[in-house]
A and B are shown apart, each in its own frame.
Chain A
Amino acid sequence: MDIDVKKVAMLSRIRLTDDEATELGPQLANIIGYVEQLSEVNTDGVEPTAHPHDAAMPLRANIVTNVNRREELQASSPKIESGLYVVPKVIE
């Protein structure tokens, strides 16, 4: 199993050194290889499982229940300006 560790890391926004990537590659391959055993099970005629818990979704009424808790919710943010989250520039 050949895994592009650098690409996976990029998609997950995890910064890896080359050494780390080299070390993690075989480990990830091992994990996937272990899970791959599942594909040996014959599932002909078995309905796909949408969710391990066999229940229908409960629904929420269309009623506003939340109040403005901005200050509290933004307390852990590194930077706020006029109520807006400030993040490094992101433009297409």
Chain B
Amino acid sequence: MSWETVIGLEVHCQINTDTKAFCGCSTEFGAEPNSQTCPVCLGMPGQLPVLNTVAADKSILTGLAIDAHINLESKFDRKNYFYPDLPKGYQITQFTVPIVEGGHIDITSKDGVKKRLGVTRIHMEEDAGKSMHEGLDAVSHIDLNRSGIPLMEIVSEPDMRSADEAIAYLKQLHQVIRFLGVSGADMEKGQFRCDANVSVRRPGEPFGTRTEMKNMNSFRFIKQAIEFEVNRQIELIEDGGEVVQQSRLWDSVKNESRPMRSKEEAHDYRYFPEPDLPPLRVTQEHVDAIRAGMPELPGQLRQRFETDYGLSPYDADVLSQTRETSEWYESLVAAHPADPKRCANWMANELLGRLKEAGKDLASSPVSAQRLAGLLDRVGDNTISGKSAKDILDEMMVSNDDADSIIEAKGLKQVSDTGAIDAIIHEVMQANPNQVAGYRGGKDKLMGFFVGQVMKASRGKANPGMVNQRLAELLKG
């Protein structure tokens, strides 16, 4: 009998505000240790927290983007635990009434199967500081610059049934968050980190005992960690053992996870209402105003690219990966409106590839949308062949010339004049009488040979469509 995997995900996402959640300290990354702290985020006695308005608004925006319910009144609670990077001895979080409840993320599997995955809630909370242990003997070092930075914790329903679904959910959520501009979501900087709750069961049976894989910040590690954990649990149960509820850490060097600490023992958070903060109240008008300012989301964009521009689902997906990509594509279409599909092909297949090779991105692209459009105009009016256009694009990557001046300077203008093409074809035919006889004798495959010869004789400038057409005509004899 088979096993079914059940996965629920908790994502901690840093809200990109200028200041911390409850004080006026800067959130800038990479500052001198402990240079961005104050009595509030250091937990000094008598200090009172005041919530950053942008942290609340961006949480609401995220909730709206995943079709969730916004609580017009939400509350803050204290989660109590002792750790040196948590100066107050508690974390301010939203336990009983979070700002956002419900919602969903839609994913499409590799086989094109669509699935809707539930979101339980999004609540606001503050981050802890950073502890450093490496290279230290009997001590740890604490940097509290991160203490008090606002986070959204996005908690999913236990709806994922495989590591692949979990990754699809995370990627989709990551993309939505980037589009909304509510977080930098830079995983390497820890701005988007994930805990995965994993259990296995026989299909149809109640949930098995779960373990929690903590604090992972790479899609690859998350997938590996989930797969490792699923196998570990199945083997354990099949060997007659029992899964113990625990938190585990993924060791990406050894490719294995190990238990962190027993949850029952160490964790007794003793949540209670945060007396320093009255309820957060927002009006429906305020929520509506936030909704009105919501940017187009990747899913809507993909759909629009397919319908309005006739793009394939693949191209639509590639060009809606980030807001920058989609905006670049649309400015290319605005500059070369004749053929949005040509724009998509050239941008997705030619430009992005060249940029990647050059270690650049669209923002630093040496070829602007305007210049690329200039090149596509010449492809469109048959001035140049596709092959020449690729060479010209190579040239444009390293020079500031526009397509027309490169065509002029290199004499790349395509020959579409029937007389000129016929003249070349006659030359080729005279030079290859045996092949002409062979073709006329029924060897159709020789057509390829003639096309090649004519293109070569024209130094690649002959219009290939016309060459084919004229050859078919003239070879008939």
Residues of A bordering B, CB below 8 Å:
7, 11, 13, 50-51, 53-66, 68-70, 73-74, 81-92
| B16 → chain A closest CB, angstroms | 10
**How many A-B residue pairs lie within 8 Å, measured between CB atoms?**
130
A82 to B34: give the CA distance in the assembly, Å. 10
B19/A64 in contact, CB under 8 A: yes
Q: Which of B34, B97, B278 is most buried by chain A, counting CB atoms within 10 A of its CB?
A: B34
Q: B50: which A residues are within 8 A, CB to CB? A: 57-60
| B24: interface (CB < 8 Å) | yes
Interface string of B269-288 (1 = CB under 8 A from A): 01001010111110000000
Chain B residue nearest in CB terms to A69: B38
Q: A85: which B residues are within 8 A, CB to CB? A: 34, 84, 141-144
A82 to B136: give the CA distance in the assembly, Å. 14
Query: With A57-B278, A59-B51 as given contacts, are A64 and B141 in contact (CB-CB < 8 Å)?
Result: no
Which listed residue (B17, B36, B54, B84) contacts A90, Cβ 8 A?
B84
Which 7 A-B pairs give the minimum distances between C-beta atoms?
A: A65-B24, A84-B141, A56-B281, A59-B53, A85-B142, A62-B54, A60-B50
Supply 8 A–B pairs (Cβ within 8 Å), ascending by A: A11-B80, A50-B97, A61-B52, A64-B25, A86-B141, A89-B139, A89-B140, A92-B249
| B428: interface (CB < 8 Å) | no
Query: With A51-B278, A91-B133 as given contacts, are A62 and B142 in contact (CB-CB < 8 Å)?
Result: no
A50/B75 in contact, CB under 8 A: yes
Q: B244: which A residues are within 8 A, CB to CB? A: none
Which listed residue (A57, A66, A82) contacts B51, Cβ 8 A?
A57
| B56: interface (CB < 8 Å) | yes
| A91 → chain B closest CB, angstroms | 5
A7 to B264: give the CA distance in the assembly, Å. 12
Q: A64: which B residues are within 8 A, CB to CB? A: 18-19, 24-26
| B443: interface (CB < 8 Å) | no
A56 to B281: give the CA distance in the assembly, Å. 6
Chain B residue nearest in CB terms to A68: B35
| B414: interface (CB < 8 Å) | no
Q: B25: which A residues are within 8 A, CB to CB? A: 64, 66
Query: With A59-B53, A62-B18, A84-B34 as given contacts, are A11 and B144 in contact (CB-CB < 8 Å)?
Result: no
A51 to B279: give the CA distance in the assembly, Å. 7
Chain B residues 1-29 with CB under 8 Å of chain A are 17-19, 22-26
Residues of B bordering A, CB below 8 Å:
17-19, 22-26, 32-39, 42, 50-56, 73, 75, 80, 82-84, 97, 131-133, 136-144, 249, 260-261, 268, 270, 273, 275, 277-281
Q: A54: which B residues are within 8 A, CB to CB? A: 278
With A7-B268, A60-B22, A68-B35 given, name 11 new contacts (CB 8 A): A50-B279, A57-B51, A57-B279, A59-B50, A60-B19, A73-B34, A84-B34, A85-B84, A85-B143, A88-B140, A90-B83
Q: B33: which A residues are within 8 A, CB to CB? A: 82-84
A10 to B129: give the CA distance in the assembly, Å. 23
A13/B141 in contact, CB under 8 A: no
A56/B35 in contact, CB under 8 A: no
B52/A59 in contact, CB under 8 A: yes
A50/B26 in contact, CB under 8 A: no
| B123 → chain A closest CB, angstroms | 15
Q: B52: which A residues are within 8 A, CB to CB? A: 59-62
| A7 → chain B closest CB, angstroms | 8
Chain A residue nearest in CB terms to B80: A11
Query: With A62-B19, A73-B42, A83-B35 as given contacts, are A57 and B281 in contact (CB-CB < 8 Å)?
Result: yes
Chain B residue nearest in CB terms to A55: B278
Q: B84: which A residues are within 8 A, CB to CB? A: 85, 87, 90
B143/A84 in contact, CB under 8 A: yes
A85 to B144: give the CA distance in the assembly, Å. 9
Q: A81: which B residues are within 8 A, CB to CB? A: 141
Chain B residue nearest in CB terms to A91: B133
Which listed residue (A51, A55, A68, A88) contacts B275, Cβ 8 A?
A51
A56 to B56: give the CA distance in the assembly, Å. 14
| B47 → chain A closest CB, angstroms | 12
Q: A66: which B residues are within 8 A, CB to CB? A: 23-26, 36, 38
Q: A84: which B residues are within 8 A, CB to CB? A: 33-34, 132, 141-143
Q: A59: which B residues are within 8 A, CB to CB? A: 50-53, 56
Q: B42: which A residues are within 8 A, CB to CB? A: 73
Which listed residue (B18, B133, B260, B277) contacts A57, Cβ 8 A?
B277
A11/B141 in contact, CB under 8 A: no
Q: A73: which B residues are within 8 A, CB to CB? A: 34, 37-39, 42
Query: With A50-B278, A62-B18 as given contacts, are A70 and B37 in contact (CB-CB < 8 Å)?
Result: yes
Query: With A59-B52, A92-B249 as given contacts, are A87 and B140 in contact (CB-CB < 8 Å)?
Result: yes
A57/B82 in contact, CB under 8 A: no
| A85 → chain B closest CB, angstroms | 4
Q: A13: which B residues are within 8 A, CB to CB? A: 82
